[in-house]
Amino acid sequence: MNNEKIKKYAILIVSVFATVFIIWQNNEDKITSTVSTDSQDEANFFIVNGQYTVFDEEGELSSVMKSDEAKHYPSRNNALLKKPNLLMYREDNPPWRLTADNGEYDMNDENLTFTQNVVITRNEELETPWTLKTESLTLLNKTRFITTKQPVTISDSFSILKGTGMNAWVDDKKIELTSNVRGNYAPE
């Protein structure tokens, strides 16, 4: 009987020590997660529901940019935009509206890149306005030149054009689809 009690106590003591040892080992092996807060990659300011208006050399309205949110990153000197909405005015013609889910404005060379669900609309007041759709494009703001290598669809009330890649000169009213162009024309 004594041997039986000693065996039970020995098993109990070994179990307690094993449990304590396992818990102690698990606490030592824990990986402490640390979040790197590199101030170089943090936004130094943000704007909510902002609007930025640009005038040309003659003082005429050139463009109006709105976005739900803009965050400026000084290390890259750029701003990331949520829901950018740009109106580009052209002499006596209706403005072009460029919208997207996201945008990035490079402040060094003043280029604006639109990404995800990018739409350019002209003649918004029409029942079926002229629209251009793509997944990304870049506006070279100084020259008002727009370019993309992505698939593009252009449509209006009577035609649809599809192609891969596009160049557009806003002030010259010229658009060039660069490859794989297909179209349907169905006048009323």
* pLDDT, position 91: 78
Average pLDDT, the chain: 82
Does residue 70 form part of some domain?
A: yes
pLDDT in tens, 34-61: 444 445 578 888 889 999 898 888 888 8
Q: Is residue 126 part of a domain?
A: yes
Please tell me the predicted confidence (pLDDT) of residue 34. Answer: 41
21 occurs within a structural domain: no
Give the predicted TM-score (pTM) of the model. 0.73
For residue 69, is it within any domain? yes
- Cβ atoms of 166 and 153 closer than 8 Å: no
The model's pLDDT over 81-130, given as tens digits with 9 standing for 90+, comes to 999 999 998 877 888 899 999 999 998 998 999 999 999 998 877 778 89
Residue 37 confidence (pLDDT): 45
Is a pLDDT exceeding 50 seen at residue 30?
no
The answer to the question of residue 79 being in a domain is yes
Which range of residues forms the domain containing residue 93?
43-185
CATH number of residue 146's parent domain: 2.60.450.10
Whether 170 and 96 have beta carbons less than 8 Å apart is answered as: yes
Residue 185 has pLDDT above 80, yes or no: yes
Reported as a single tens digit per residue, the pLDDT across 117-176 is 999 998 877 778 899 999 999 999 889 999 999 999 999 888 999 999 999 998 888 999
The number of folded domains in the chain is 1
Assigned domain for 11 exists = no
